[in-house]
Amino acid sequence: MKVLTVVSHPRQDSLTFAVAKRFEQGLKDAGHETEILDLHRIGFDPVLWEADEPDWLKKNQTFSPEVEREIARMKEHDALAYIYPLWWYSMPAMLMGYIERVWNYGFAYGTSKLHHGRVLWLILAGASPEQLAKRGYDKMIEHFQNISLANYAGIENSKVEFLYETLKRDPEHIKSLLDQAYNQGFNYAND
């Protein structure tokens, strides 16, 4: 399986990127191919401009060259993974802008849906499971990712996985998070 792994974090030396590398290794060890897409390093512009505004009157819409490149990249893969930190109980603006621009009308919803068989949302949360559950944030995030995004765009097999308490600097805890990331990659196709 070819998996497009999209990573959103401004620093390459972050725990988010360490998690992405372990996830990538798990995918490769399980026999999958993957491409890491670093939204910051490619200079992706998350702002939706007129050229990429959905036009519901057109059956086949063309978008800006940047979005057309990313649509072509997505078409080359069978499955998706998104790795990012949980900020304000949501995804970073960079990633939301990517989804708003690339998962566009006529490609991801409307006259066409995404062809990808599955998507994993691997989210790094500074909070504990209890803190996320306290106000139902965990369920809200799962619903948004799995139903409002993935299912709406035609992906039936969508899964949210949290890596909790990512602000702890305990080496054993960090190792545990990286092991979880590896296992998510290695078992990606088994869920």
For residue range 1-26, list pLDDT tens digits in order. Answer: 999 999 999 999 999 999 999 999 99
pTM: 0.96
**Residue 106 belongs to what domain range?**
2-190
- The CATH number linked to 29 is 3.40.50.360
DSSP H helices, the chain, are 15-29, 65-75, 93-102, 129-134, 137-143, 171-186
Residue of 149, 153, 146, 148 whose CA lies nearest to 191: 146
For residue range 139-169, list pLDDT tens digits in order. Answer: 999 999 999 999 999 999 999 999 999 999 8
Q: How many domains does the chain have?
A: 1
How far, in Å, CA of 112 to CA of 76, rounded? 16
